[in-house]
Amino acid sequence: MAELILASNSPRRRELLGGLGIPFRVEPSRFEERGDERSARDTALAFAEGKAREVFSRFPRSVVLGADTVVSCGGKILGKPHSAKEAEEMLRLLSGRVHSVFSGVCLMGEGLFLKDVFETRVKFYPLSGELIAEYVASGLPLDKAGAYGIQDGYPLVESYEGSYTNVVGFPMELVTAFLKEGKLC
């Protein structure tokens, strides 16, 4: 059986995939995420595929799993913030609103190519300026799409429709289905 490689440096994706008990190794992708005029859904899928393809080009005897997550609110795509100021702006935008979290997943190997996108709708509580400042000062939002993590322990998310693990950044329903189809679990 071919070696499974996770094309991501995300500790959350590593932890979730590790929970399946399947052996894998991590090889971060060198794919350059460049924004363009695609939809959030198309962006997440294109970036997941780009990450998988880049790692597969270096390890063609392996099976590579790539993923990417973006947040979309009011037609604006929110990736990872580049600064604390940008994180604050994203959180203010999301405050009291419903938004979508899109995660693209791509699994590829010799004779294997699967890709799809998972969407979860999330509603934020109205956030006070103090809560936003405290959360941003914690440093937690700086490595997450949309500048937040549902798992971070802050009272941000009022409700969601769909997959919790998708909001974390790795829709395990889709990942597990792909791994089964590829006969890896």
Give catalytic residue positions.
68
Is residue 183 over pLDDT 90?
Answer: no
In CATH, what number is assigned to the domain containing residue 115? 3.90.950.10
Tell me which long-range contacts 8-14 makes (C-beta under 8 A, separation of at least 24).
Answer: 8/51, 8/65, 8/66, 8/67, 10/67, 10/169, 10/170, 12/149, 12/151, 12/168, 12/169, 12/170, 13/67, 13/169, 13/170
Mean pLDDT of 31-58: 90
- Tell me which residue range forms the domain holding 27: 4-181
Domains: count for the chain: 1
Residues 121/161, Cβ–Cβ less than 8 Å: yes
What pLDDT is attached to residue 184? 86
What pLDDT is attached to residue 136? 98
Distance (Å, rounded) from C-alpha 98 to C-alpha 159? 9
What confidence tens digit (pLDDT) does each residue in 75-114 have? Answer: 899 989 999 999 999 999 999 999 999 999 999 999 999 9
How long a stretch of residues is the chain?
185
Is residue 185 over pLDDT 90?
Answer: no
What confidence tens digit (pLDDT) does each residue in 122-131 have? Answer: 999 999 999 9
User: What does pLDDT average to over the chain?
Assistant: 95
What pLDDT is attached to residue 35? 66
Please name which of 14, 44, 4 lies closest in space to residue 172, comparing C-alpha atoms: 14
What pLDDT is attached to residue 54? 97
